[in-house]
Structure 1
Amino acid sequence: MRKTKRNIKILQYNAVFEQEEDGGYSVWVPALPGCASQGNNFDEAIANIKEAVGLYLEDRPETAKDEDETAVKQFLVPISISYA
């Protein structure tokens, strides 16, 4: 039996984590609309979003590109306001 070579790509995406009041985390990938997950702790959230991204790309292989090629440019800026 002959083994075939598979081209394995290593893709990188930015994931946004938000800590929930119960201590868990919500997480989503802005470059992949609708790709989101959660976890009871940070490590679980990381594992779950990696799985979610894998499933997302499996279902939509045409979107399997480095984020640099398709990036939604987002950034966080702290702001201060006066509030009474």
Structure 2
Amino acid sequence: MKFNIILEPSEEGGFNVSVPALDGCFTQGNTEDEAISNAKEEIYAYL
């Protein structure tokens, strides 16, 4: 199963990620790669 994510730079540094298809599913990371990896973990936990 694939989900679209929104990856945005954070004002405090790092990146924020949200998953529009999953209400309230969001995370962050210090780098783009870390944020995407954290998003994968959050999606798994959400489901």
Give the TM-score normalised by structure 2.
0.93
Runs of 4+ residues over 3 Å off in structure 1: none
In structure 2, stretches of 5+ residues that fail to align are: none
Alignment match, 2:8 = 18
Task: Specify the alignment match of 1:82 in structure 2.
Answer: none
Structure 1 residue ranges without an equivalent (≥5): 1-10, 58-84
State how far apart, in whole Å, the 2-side matches of 1:44 and 1:16 are. 14
State the partner residue of 1:37. Answer: 27
**What SS does the corresponding residue of 2:17 show, helix, strand or coil?**
strand
Which of 33, 38, 43 is the matching residue for 1:53? Answer: 43
Higher RCO (CA < 8 A, seq sep 6+): 2
Measure, in 1, the Cα distance between the counterparts of 2:45 and 2:12: 27
- Bigger strand fraction: 2
Count of residue pairs brought into register by the alignment: 47
Identity, % of aligned positions: 51
1:29 deviates by 0.4
Cα distance, 1:20 vs structure 2: 1.2
The whole-number CA distance in structure 2 between the counterparts of 1:19 and 1:32 is: 20
